Copies of this chain bind each other. A is one copy, B any other.
Amino acid sequence: MILILKPNIGTDSREYRRIEEHLKNFQNIETRVHRVQGAEQVLTEIYLIGSTAALSLEEMRSFPGVEHVVRVSEEYRVLGRHKDDNRSNRFTYNGVQFSQGNLNIFAGLCAVDSPESVETMMKALQENEQVCTRMGAYKPRTSPYSFQGHGKNCLPFVFELAGKYGIKVIAMEITHESHINEIREALEKTGNPTGVMLQIGTRNTQNFELLKSVGRQQEFPVLLKRGFGITLDESLHAAEYLASEGNQKVVFGLRGMKTNIGDPHRNMVDFAHIPVVKRLTRMPVCIDPSHSVGGRHRSSDQILDIMHVTAQGVIAGANMILVDFHPDPGVALVDGPQALRLNELPQFLEDVRMVRETYERRVALFSDVNMKSSEA
């Protein structure tokens, strides 16, 4: 059960203490408090875990200070959608809003190679009015003998260049809890010129210890990629490891599933799961067309597969796109063959804009229909 308190009522209030007092009458109920920082106010959510069947919804609602009560199912307690659940699905970070209702584009480098590449990329983003990017510093690679990313050494120049070109959020994969501090320190040293969204890759989706570490901090939002080889349900449970530790600023990322039935694409594109994740949880959904497709093949209509699957994600309501570009894909240290080129950026953005607009018209179309209908 979740008690959402009235705005700005916290755990030091008289109202909270009355609830606390009441709960003492019940055994086996554990209390976990989450503070959710919204744009204008702070919400306090109290999670009651254990034998909550003994509690009455009515009674809990009647406490002064309680705005709303949600009886959660066992699954996806914090991030899930439950009956009569009007908790928000949006958060703002460094001036950028993330929600199930909007779309952010993170075009950038799969792996940081040189300051020159980074600067060229950031400059192109600014010219195209983009304020988000992806920049890989820590790269988990299948073989220990492959290039593993420049790590913390590249952070200072990446952050400085981000600041120079007006980038507000950089999605950056981390593979160890120590990377959080490395990033925090590099940001501080460079004067916090930008923000970072911590990305958990598909190999670490069920690295629960890393998830807990990331979940324990609330400074950086998190992009959790779906794990390959596990079910969607299991990946959504993994997101709960972040949330149950306190961080609800979580975006869920689809990046294709590893199986030969997706051939000749690198992975089996799974963007049909966008509406599923949005129905089951309150997380915004990100797509990664570059890693899903893994190549620059073009169809008979002369459009790249990467652009086709991007459009497929956007037309079904994706909220974030992570896409690889590179000023000179031939010399990229990681995944060059799948990178788009900088001269393709304007059309990519225009394509996404057109398709997003159509998605919004679709929502309006069905909203009209549903309003006229009482059908479930």
Contact = CB atoms under 8 A, between A and B. Distances in A.
Contacts of A351: 362, 365-366
Interface stretch (A5-13, A57-65, A126-134, A253-261): A253-261
Given A301-B275, A301-B363, A366-B347, A232 B358 contact: no
A335 to B, nearest CB: 16
Interface in A215-244: 227-234, 237-238, 240-241, 244
Interface stretch (A106-114, A140-148, A159-167, A185-193): A140-148
Name which of A75, A209, A210, A262 has the most chain B CB atoms within 10 A of its CB.
A209
Copies in the complex: 4
Interface in A302-331: 302-303, 305, 307-309, 311-312, 315-317
A98 to B, nearest CB: 15
A168 interface: no
A240 to B, nearest CB: 5
Contacts of A350: 365
Contact of A312 (B245, B264, B312, B367): B312
A203 B350 CA distance: 40
A361 B311 CA distance: 12
A145 B244 contact: yes
A365 B301 CA distance: 11
Contacts of A302: 363, 366-367, 370
A227 B227 CA distance: 11
Contacts of A208: 140-141, 144, 175, 203
A293 interface: yes
Contact of A308 (B74, B144, B145, B275): B275
Contact of A279 (B75, B272, B300, B365): B300
B307 A263 contact: no
Contacts of A140: 206, 208
A142 B234 CA distance: 6
A265 interface: yes
A262 to B, nearest CB: 8
Nearest to A78: B144
Interface of A: 49, 74-75, 77, 81, 89, 100, 140-145, 175-176, 203-204, 206-210, 227-234, 237-238, 240-241, 244-245, 257-265, 268-276, 278-279, 292-293, 297-303, 305, 307-309, 311-312, 315-317, 341, 343-344, 347, 350-351, 354-355, 358, 361-363, 365-367, 369-370, 373, 375
30 contacts: A81-B300, A89-B300, A100-B301, A142-B238, A143-B237, A207-B207, A228-B229, A229-B229, A231-B258, A232-B264, A257-B261, A261-B270, A264-B276, A265-B272, A265-B273, A268-B272, A269-B272, A275-B297, A275-B298, A275-B299, A275-B303, A275-B308, A276-B299, A278-B301, A301-B366, A303-B366, A309-B316, A351-B365, A351-B366, A354-B365
The 5 closest A-B pairs by CB, nearest first: A229-B229, A275-B299, A269-B272, A203-B206, A260-B260
